[in-house]
Amino acid sequence: MSSPELESRQLAAILARKASEDAVALRQLEGNSEIADSILGFHAQQAIEKWLKAVLANNGIEFEYTHDLRHLIGLLEGAGLAFPLDIPTVVMFTEFAVPLRYEDLLDAEPLDRRATVALVNDVDAWARTMLDEGRA
């Protein structure tokens, strides 16, 4: 294994671990009505973003440090890696990375917390499969 491959796999492992940390926070906070939807949405976005980047890194695909989930999915697909989940649903979490963290959320639709956790669980399962396959 060459040095860049080793570095890519190490980066993938770190990103996957960090994604899991955000997913744990999301799962733990889901039922707490005192926690704002924006906080749950942020952890969901962060978990998804980091899993996408972990799969990219694991496959030796260069990526920018961006919160744009559509862009990250596009990089995967451009490299011939299928993303099997509903892309518009996933991409909508991009807004939780920055814009909804600082804007007034009074007019925002309530977050379906159960569906959000289910989506994050699905991305988690997909990413783990991709990482376990060791495609590089």
Number of helical H runs and strand E runs in the chain: 6, 0
Q: What pTM did the predictor assign?
A: 0.89
Other Cβ atoms less than 10 A from the Cβ of 110: the count is 7
Other Cβ atoms less than 10 A from the Cβ of 76: the count is 18
Task: Look at residue 101 and tell me whether its pLDDT is greater than 60.
Answer: no
Q: Domains of the chain: which residue ranges?
A: 3-133
Per-residue pLDDT tens over the stretch 1-20: 445 666 999 999 999 999 99
Confidence label for 21 from pLDDT (cuts 50, 70 and 90): very high
User: Do 113 and 8 touch, CB atoms closer than 8 A?
Assistant: no
Which residues are CB-neighbours of 66 under 8 A, at least 6 positions away?
Answer: 72
How would CATH label the architecture of 3-133?
Answer: Up-down Bundle (1.20)
Task: Look at residue 104 and tell me whether its pLDDT is greater than 70.
Answer: no
Per-residue pLDDT tens over the stretch 41-90: 999 999 999 999 999 999 999 999 899 999 999 999 999 999 999 999 99
Q: State how far Cα 67 lies from the chain centre.
A: 9
Place of tokens 């939807």: 37
What was the pLDDT predicted at 81?
Answer: 95
User: Do 42 and 24 touch, CB atoms closer than 8 A?
Assistant: no
